[in-house]
Amino acid sequence: MAATYVTPTDLRAALGIGSLYDDTTLEKVCQASQDLISKQLWTNTFPVVGVGIYSNYAYVSLATAGAFVAGQTITISGCGTTYNGSHTITSTYPWTPNSGSFPYFTFYPWNTLNYPRGFSLIQFALTHADENYHLITPYGKIEGQEYGDAIDYSAVPAVQEAALMVAIDIWQARQQSNAGGISPDFSPSPYRMGNTLLARVRGLLSPYLSPRGMVG
């Protein structure tokens, strides 16, 4: 999927390089910029990696931690007709306020002692025969509708400007023979955003920053 926060046309105009480089080369830089920016932005949409049913409760594992709370209404898609649609969360793991208890269920591959870090689990009532936990490939999607539709960041000027600034910096680093930075442990890295640029980017993105992306 082509980058939308900053495009090859935007980058070409900002750099003043005309037709010297093709769109494929510029697109890689634009996509790299968008990937860096996206990690810092708030979102209410996350991947669903697996689902299962036990005793009329659905269990859905997510590739994110602590995104939702008990009592919140969510919408699931891409997980099959049994799970798709709007549901109200009855419990979460890791625990959130007002979470109900999780019954013991043998079909689930992880228990509370070895649950993978960075993932989470939600539960909601679903009248249906038991169904063994299984992976969703490709990933499904869960969205917290209570917070409104996800923002189209490609149409937000502050995000566009931040993405362009980062793309220009990546391009300039790419053109230098000593583009690789040096991290505090002296191991090389292909690209490291400087503190000045980071501060400027964070300033532009401040109304849209996710708490998860504000570390570092």
Return d(Cα 129, Cα 127) in angstroms, integer: 7
Q: Which domains are seen in the chain, by residue range? A: 8-42+151-213 (no CATH), 45-147 (2.40.30)
78-122: pLDDT as tens digits:
999 999 999 999 988 876 666 666 665 455 555 544 556 678 889
Beta-ladder partners of 140: 48
Tell me what pLDDT residue 185 has: 47
Cα distances (Å, whole numbers) of residue 114 to 29, 62, 68, 109, 110:
38, 15, 21, 9, 6
User: Structure pTM?
Assistant: 0.59
Which of these, 5, 162, 131, 148, lies nearest to 56 by C-alpha position? Answer: 131
54-78: pLDDT as tens digits:
889 999 999 887 788 888 889 999 9
Please say whether the beta carbons of 6 and 33 come within 8 A: yes
With vertex at residue 34, the alpha carbon angle to CA 43 and CA 6, rounded to the nearest 5 degrees, is 115
35-54: pLDDT as tens digits:
999 888 877 888 999 999 98
